[in-house]
A and B are shown apart, each in its own frame.
Chain A
Amino acid sequence: MDFNIALFLAQDGITNGAIYALLGLSLVLVFTVTRVILVPQGEFVAYGALTVVGLEMGTIPGTAWLLLVLGAAVFVADALRAENGRQPRILMLRALTDLVLPAVLLGVCWVVAPLDLGVWVTAPLAVALVAPLGAYIYRLAFRPLAQSPVLVLLIAAVGVHLAMIGLGLVFFGAEGFRSEPFTTASLTLGPMMVSGQSLWVLGTTSVLITSLWFFFGHTITGKALRATSVNRLGARLVGIPADRSGIIAFTMAAAMGAISGVLIGPVTTVFYDTGFLIGLKGLVAAIMGGLVSYPIAAAAALAVGLIESVASFEASSFKEVIVFTTIIPVLLWQSLRSSHVEEEEE
C-alpha cells in the first residue's frame, strides 16, 4: 500500500467513520434514555436517502404515506389507552402532532415533488419526513414496553427492524439508487483529492456533534435527557416525564439517521436494506463506548470507518467479517471490567 492509497483509504474511512459516529451517538442517546438498543437505526438511514431519491424522481415518497398512517395509529392507540384522560385540550394537541403534521408534510411533498427544486429542498424535506417516524415508532412499539427488561426491548427493536425493512422494499423497490450530489466540486490538498461531498459529510457531522454537545451541556431539556439516562427514578422524582424524554431521544435518533442517509445518498448506492449494515457499524462503535460514552463512541466510529476501508482494500471479501469480529474482543473487555458475580437484570 503506497502513501497515496493510504491517504485515499484514510479519507474514505474518515468520511464513513463520521457517519458511523452520528449513528453511534444516536444509539447511545436512545439507549441511555430508553434502554432500547435501536437495531432499526439503519432503516432511518435508508429511508432518508431513498426519500430524497423519490422526491428527485418527482414522486411522493412512501415515507410520507407511512407518516400519515403511523400518525393516525398513534393517535388512536393513545386515545384508547387514555393514560392522561381524554381531555379535549390534550386530544387537540395530539391531533396537531399526530394528524395535522403528517398531512401538512404530505401536502408539501405533493406540491414540491414535481417541481424538481434540487437538493436544498429535497434533503431537508426528507429529514422532516423521517424524523417524526422516530417519535411515532417509540410511542407505538416501545412506550407500552417501557418497564420491560432490556432483552424484551431488544427483541421488540428487531421486530420494528423487520417491519421497517419490509416496508422499505414496498416503498422503494429492490433496486438501488444514488441521489444527486450536494456539490460536484472537489479540492486538491497536496497529493490528495478531496471530494466536495466528503467535505459536506465532515462539515455537517461536525456541526451536528457540536450542537449536540451544546444541547446536552447548556439547555434544560438536554440536561433533563441526561438526567433520565443517569437515573431514571431520580428523573421522574423531579418531574421529568420519562415519556417525553423517550420521544425526544427517538426523534433525534431518526433525524440523525435521516441526515446520515441524505449525506451518503450521493456517494453510495443505497438499497432498501443497505441501512441495516451501516446501522450495525454505528452500533459496533456505540458498544465500544459501552453504550454510555459519547466521546468514546465517536472515536470508535472513526476507527471502525478506518478498519473497514483498510480491510476492503486488503481483503475485500472479508471486509464485513473483519469489521464485525473486532467487536468481540471489545465486548469481552467491557464485560471483564465488571467481571465479578453480579445479579443480571431480569
Chain B
Amino acid sequence: MTAPLLSVEAVSVSYGKIEAVRSVSLDILPGQIVTVIGANGAGKTTTLGGIMGILPCRGGITFQGAPLATVPVEARVASGMSLVPEKRELFVTMSVADNLILGAYRGVRGAALRTALDEVYDLFPRLRERRQQAAGTLSGGERQMLAMGRALMARPKLLMLDEPSLGLAPRIVMEIFHLITRLRSTGVSILLVEQNARAALKTADYAYVMETGEVTLQGPASELAQDPRVIESYLGVRGTTQKAEETPA
C-alpha cells in the first residue's frame, strides 16, 4: 500500500468550549480525489480549517510523512498544500492578474511565473479575458475559478476545495467538477468538501460522511452512493422522491 499524502488522525477542533469536530480521521493517497460530505454545520469546513492550520486543533496531522503540529499556515502552503476556502477570500480590490501572481508568492518568479500564469489562463480562458479587472467585479462562477486558479499557481500537491459548487449555476457547477477530474490527471490530489453529495460522490474515489462533528460513514465513493443511509439523508430531495415514486407501485 502506498503511503498516504495526507493523514489525519483523531483530530478535534473547538471554538471556545464548543467542540465542533470530534476525533476525525481520514487519509488521502497520492493522486486520489477524496470527498467529505455532510449537512450544513456538520463540521466539514472546520475540519479543513484544522488541516490547513487556520484553526487550532488537537490530534495528529501528517503531510508527506512529516507532522504539521507546529507548522504555520504559510509554511504548509510552501510545502504543497492549498486551500480554496468556502468564501473564496480573494483580494477583491486587486486585479485578476495580481491575485494569480500572489498565488505564486511561495513559488516561482520570472519566466516560470509567466508559464504558470499561462497554464492557469488555459484552464480558465475567462480569467485571461478579465485579467485587468478587479477581482471584486467578477461573477460568482468567475470568482470560484479565480480562487482555484490562485491556489493552482502555487503548484500544490494537495488541493483542498471547500464547497466549490456553492451558489453557482448548474452549468458552471458541471464545468467545475469536470475540471476537478482533469486536475487529478495532472497528479494533484484533491480533498473535496461538498454539500452537493451526488456530484461529489460521482467525482470522488473515496468518501467520508460527517454528522454533528464526527465521521459516521466512509468507503469508496461508488459504494457510498448506493448506501441507503446516504441516499436517505444526503441525496436530499432525490431520496424522498424515490420513496414517493415507490409508494404507488
A/B: CB atoms within 8 Å of each other = yes
A224 vs B85: C-alpha distance in the bound complex, in angstroms? 19
Q: Is B29 interfacial (CB 8 A cutoff)?
A: no
On whether the beta carbons of A227 and B102 are closer than 8 Å, the reply is yes
Q: Is B90 interfacial (CB 8 A cutoff)?
A: yes
Residues of B85-118 whose CB lies within 8 A of A: 85, 89-94, 98, 101-103, 105-106, 109
On whether the beta carbons of A239 and B85 are closer than 8 Å, the reply is no
Q: State how many residues of chain A have any CB contact under 8 Å with chain B.
A: 20
On whether the beta carbons of A236 and B74 are closer than 8 Å, the reply is yes
On whether the beta carbons of A237 and B105 are closer than 8 Å, the reply is no
A84 vs B73: C-alpha distance in the bound complex, in angstroms? 12
Chain B residues in 8 Å Cβ range of A240: 74, 102, 105
Q: Is B2 interfacial (CB 8 A cutoff)?
A: no
Q: Is A176 interfacial (CB 8 A cutoff)?
A: no
The listed residue with most B CB atoms (<10 A of its CB), out of A224, A233, A237, A242, is: A237
A239 vs B101: C-alpha distance in the bound complex, in angstroms? 12
On whether the beta carbons of A238 and B90 are closer than 8 Å, the reply is no
On whether the beta carbons of A237 and B98 are closer than 8 Å, the reply is no
Can you name the residue of chain A whose Cβ is closest to the Cβ of B99?
A227
Q: Is B52 interfacial (CB 8 A cutoff)?
A: yes
Can you name the residue of chain A whose Cβ is closest to the Cβ of B109?
A220
Q: Is B3 interfacial (CB 8 A cutoff)?
A: no
Can you name the residue of chain A whose Cβ is closest to the Cβ of B107?
A239
Chain B residues in 8 Å Cβ range of A220: 101-102, 105, 109
Bits for B20-31, please: 1 = Cβ < 8 Å to A, else 0. Answer: 000000000000
A230 vs B99: C-alpha distance in the bound complex, in angstroms? 11
On whether the beta carbons of A227 and B94 are closer than 8 Å, the reply is yes
Chain A residues in 8 Å Cβ range of B150: 238
On whether the beta carbons of B94 and A226 are closer than 8 Å, the reply is yes
**Contact A223 B98, CB 8 Å, known A83-B72, A238-B77, A240-B74:** yes
- Least distance between A48 CB and chain B CB atoms (Å): 32
Chain B residues in 8 Å Cβ range of A233: 54, 85, 89
The listed residue with most B CB atoms (<10 A of its CB), out of A220, A231, A238, is: A238
A/B interface sample: 30 pairs, CB < 8 A: A83-B70, A83-B72, A85-B70, A220-B102, A220-B109, A223-B94, A223-B98, A223-B101, A223-B102, A226-B94, A227-B98, A227-B102, A230-B91, A230-B92, A230-B94, A231-B90, A231-B92, A234-B91, A236-B73, A237-B83, A237-B85, A237-B151, A238-B77, A238-B105, A238-B106, A238-B154, A239-B73, A239-B78, A239-B106, A240-B102
Residues of B bordering A, CB below 8 Å: 52, 54, 70, 72-74, 77-78, 82-83, 85, 89-94, 98, 101-103, 105-106, 109, 150-151, 153-154
- Kindly list the 6 A-B residue pairs having the minimum CB-CB distance in the complex, ordered from nearest: A239-B77, A234-B89, A239-B106, A241-B74, A230-B91, A236-B73
